[in-house]
Amino acid sequence: MESHAEGAPAHWSVPQCPFTIEYSPRVLDDIRLAVVDAFCSMPHGGVEIGGVLLGKYGRGRLEIQDYVPLPTEHVSGPSFELSSYDHMKLAEVLATARGNPRGGQPVGWYHSHTRSGISLTAADLEIHKRYFPEPWQVALVMQPYERQPTRAGFFFREADGAIRDNSCYQEFAMESLAIGKIPDAVEAGGEAARLEPPPAAREVPDVASPLPSFGQVAPKLSYRRQGILLASILAVAMGAWAYHTRDLWLPVRVPEVRYIGLNTADADGQLQIRWDRNSPAVRQARAGAVTIEDVGNPQVVELDAAHLQAGVFTYGRKGGKVDVAMTLSLPDGQRVREATSFLGQAPVRPAPEQEVAVRKEVDDLARKLEEEQARNRKLEKSLEDARGQIKKQQRKRMGNQIR
């Protein structure tokens, strides 16, 4: 990691990362302050927090320019584990960021670990794969200490799509940024602006003005006016208290967030395209379509409501990069669309001579199976004929005995 001045961006890179991470030291320092504040909010590790990293990606460089904190309910305790409402809030934050072309796009997320090392847990991996599926999106994990600098590390997808989750390739310490010195003079118009003299040194115009009468006593307010003034102050105080505590007594409005949760997972060339079948959009959708672009050959797979409830579709990929998009048709006429990509090694295909040998072996096995089935049919017919002869002989003997 290269260290820079506060105004210049800092860079983080390792040989295993396919791109360089460039970030604003001020942005990471603001996140560090929030992490340390949450760490000190309660004994024995405080609470863990997280949020979304904003920026842009292009030409092998990921830029982190801003962030959006994600307030969580912490229904499971102080750890950063998302509830159902937290998942909806995260989806809403991502949708808002993607819909703002002038602002930074989601390039990853951050969260703190106060009771474990700098790593990604199983729950962290689920969040990363579900909400940050792009091959260039990263996860930043911070670990605060009481008497030591906060340490951090980036996690990313390598060239084959794998994520090293047990530890970071290169951790770094986050020292607090120094406060800039106030300049003695301000440059204006190309010349140093002169400071104005203090008010005591200014010339006072010779204007007669009445001197304040310090010896006079202000008239006392009547009891009625005192009561009105006290009631006004109390009303203002109660109004301010009600405004600042409105989140405690106002009903919580849960926004309707439409998401699909599209992601991919590969198993020996079989690409599993998955989505969240429990999301409101998937449950309400009447039909959907999956567009797969593999080796420049786009394919469209139509899905009905029953297939959408399955939550998975398997596709035998041909190349190392597969672009997947899903579009849902909702009853109100609107459409919900999400896209993701898989990046890895192209599946290994057998050589032509191996294919011929395998095909010949399959044909031989099929021929032997047919021959075996034909022999079985002949044996069954012979057995049936023998049973018929035995029955005839039995009937003949019984007839002779009756006579």
What pTM value is reported for the model?
Answer: 0.48
Q: Residues 6 or more apart from 68 whose CB is under 8 A from it?
A: 51, 52, 54, 93, 97
191 phi/psi in degrees, rounded to 5: -125, 150
- More confident site: 261 or 135: 135
Strand order across the beta sheet in which 312-316 lies: 263-267, 270-274, 312-316
Q: pLDDT at position 395, please?
A: 83
CA-CA distance, 146 to 128, in Å (whole number)?
Answer: 28
Of 119, 132, 122, nearest to 169 by C-alpha is 119
List Cα–Cα distances, 134 to 131, 202, 358, in angstroms: 9, 65, 38
pLDDT over 60 at 274, yes or no = yes
324 phi/psi in degrees, rounded to 5: -125, 135
Give tens-digit pLDDT for 81-125.
Answer: 899 899 999 999 999 998 887 778 999 999 999 988 899 999 999
Q: pLDDT at position 243, please?
A: 66
Q: pLDDT at position 250, please?
A: 58
Q: Average the pLDDT over 125-147 and give the result.
A: 94
Give tens-digit pLDDT for 183-207.
Answer: 444 344 444 333 344 444 444 444 4
Q: Average the pLDDT over 56-77 and give the result.
A: 92
296: left (phi over 0), alpha (psi -120 to 50) or beta: left
Q: Which amino acid is at 86?
A: D
Q: pLDDT at position 227, please?
A: 66
For the chain, what percentages of helix, strand and coil (3-state, to nearest 5) are there?
35, 25, 40
- More confident site: 355 or 256: 355
Locate 208 and state its tokens. 């007669």
Q: pLDDT at position 397, please?
A: 81
**Parallel/antiparallel/unpaired status of strands 61-69 and 20-23:** parallel
DSSP 26: H
- Return the H-helix or E-strand segment holding 198: none
Give tens-digit pLDDT for 202-234.
Answer: 444 444 444 444 344 444 555 556 666 677 777
- More confident site: 175 or 249: 175
- Maximum distance among all alpha carbons in the chain? 162
Percent over 90 (pLDDT), the chain: 35
Give tens-digit pLDDT for 9-35.
Answer: 899 999 999 999 999 999 999 999 999
Give tens-digit pLDDT for 141-170.
Answer: 999 988 899 999 999 999 999 999 999 999
- More confident site: 21 or 383: 21
